[in-house]
Structure 1
Amino acid sequence: MKTARKWGLLVSIVVTGLSVLTMSGLAFGVLLGSFAKEPALACDQVPGTPQPFEGRRHIAYDGEKHDPYKSLPPTSGPHSPRVVPPGIYRKPITEELQVHVLEHGHVLLQYADDVPADVVKELERLGRQYPRDVVVAPYPKLGHGIALSGWQRSLRLEALDEAAILDFVKVVPGRYNHQWRNGATDCLPPHPLAEDEN
């Protein structure tokens, strides 16, 4: 009986030790990864158009009233407490969910009702190439064409432009994830009144 207890204790110590080493290694890897990130690209190298900051307040529930978004699609502002993961969606995503997706550093690749089915398949194919970063979904409110959006960043396309889409989805994700990362900024010129106040 004592031998079985000793073996049990020994196995417990080994398993605990291995768990601690594994978790320490993961933590060290995360820290190394965060220090190894390359600095953000200069604003003139980031595709799309910068958009003004509209806040990042979580609304209390889906459907809660809030000020209308100033950009189409929205690129910041009040948003849902829920979030959808990157992937391919066949139904529109509410604007409040769209903004929460962007706050998490992902990008949206959305299309209007007038985009042909074969182009939608191409958009979905492109989105699948970046399964951690891109949400592809219809967005009837666009009225026409294709839109890409990131936090405070947007790009509208009249038709499928694979090079422009890939440029956006390679550069914009992760520039913002609950805050600007690795030296990235909103790329907006300073407000003239802000300069006068200094």
Structure 2
Amino acid sequence: MKRRWLGTVVSAVVTVLSVATMSSLGVGVLLGLTDDTAALSCDRVPGTPQPFEGERHIPYEGAPHEPYRTMPPTSGPHSPRVVVPGIYRDPVPAELQVHVLEHGHVLVQYAPDVPAADVDALERLGRRHPRDVVVAPYPALGQGIGLTGWQRLHRLDRLDERAVEEFVTKVAGRYDHGWQDGATDCVSS
């Protein structure tokens, strides 16, 4: 008898909590209180918006295609292969970079002149965002650090950890095979 009564009380408490939770979520949705996934307005996104250069796959890496208009590239023809977010010790080819961006990730790349301590700091930042960031050297930069997202570019002459963190958190996920949660390219809008 005592066990049956305890089971009834537990069931009632779970039911009341479930209804209360679902009701509060429903009210939050109706009032727009849970809409924290809405995209930032263009003026709040770090970096410079870049024109759309296409999104077609090339048949293989090294296949001829029109040149990219930005350094590093921010959209355009790209490899059908993709690299996963992480820390890379070798440069990522431009055609793979663009495919990484098409999946909503951010690239944090550095030129040969970036001090080893700054590279370590960039790699630590990349490890804090393991699903969003590719960190790699990119000698073609010539100098400094290049931050790229789909149609977004920010160049830094030297390490500014706060600027890199802000770029990663505000740009990653804005685009993933299409603009997400109301984000736009910020060029045509």
Paired position in structure 2 for 1:52: 51
Q: CA deviation at 1:37?
A: 5.8
Q: Confirm or deny: 8 A CA contact 1:37 1:182 kept in the other structure.
A: no
Tell me, yes or no, if structure 1 residue 152 matches structure 2 residue 151: yes
Cα deviation code 1:22-68 (max 9, x no counterpart): xxxxxxxxxxxxx9662101000000000000000000111100000
Cα deviation code 1:61-98 (max 9, x no counterpart): 11100000000000000000000000000000000000
Q: Confirm or deny: 8 A CA contact 1:50 1:154 kept in the other structure.
A: yes
Give 1:179's aligned amino acid: G
Give 2:182's aligned amino acid: G
Q: Confirm or deny: 8 A CA contact 1:108 1:135 kept in the other structure.
A: yes
SS in 2 for 1:154: strand
Q: Normalising to structure 2: TM-score of the pair?
A: 0.81
Give 2:105's aligned amino acid: H
Q: Confirm or deny: 8 A CA contact 1:79 1:99 kept in the other structure.
A: yes
Paired position in structure 1 for 2:94: 95
Tell me, yes or no, if structure 1 residue 132 matches structure 2 residue 124: no
**Structure 2 residues not aligned, in runs of 5+:** 1-33
Q: Confirm or deny: 8 A CA contact 1:76 1:103 kept in the other structure.
A: yes
Instruction: Please give the alpha-carbon distance, in whole angstroms, between the structure 2 residues aligned to 1:37 and 1:167.
Output: 17
Give 1:135's aligned amino acid: V
Q: Normalising to structure 1: TM-score of the pair?
A: 0.77
Paired position in structure 1 for 2:116: 117
Give 2:42's aligned amino acid: C
Instruction: Please give the alpha-carbon distance, in whole angstroms, between the structure 1 residues aligned to 2:151 and 2:118.
Output: 26
Structure 1 stretches of at least 4 aligned residues deviating more than 2 Å after TM superposition = none
User: Over aligned residue pairs, what C-alpha RMSD do you find?
Assistant: 1.4
Tell me, yes or no, if structure 1 residue 62 matches structure 2 residue 77: no
**Structure 1 residues not aligned, in runs of 5+:** 1-34, 191-198
- Identity value in percent: 67
Aligned length: 157
Paired position in structure 2 for 1:104: 103
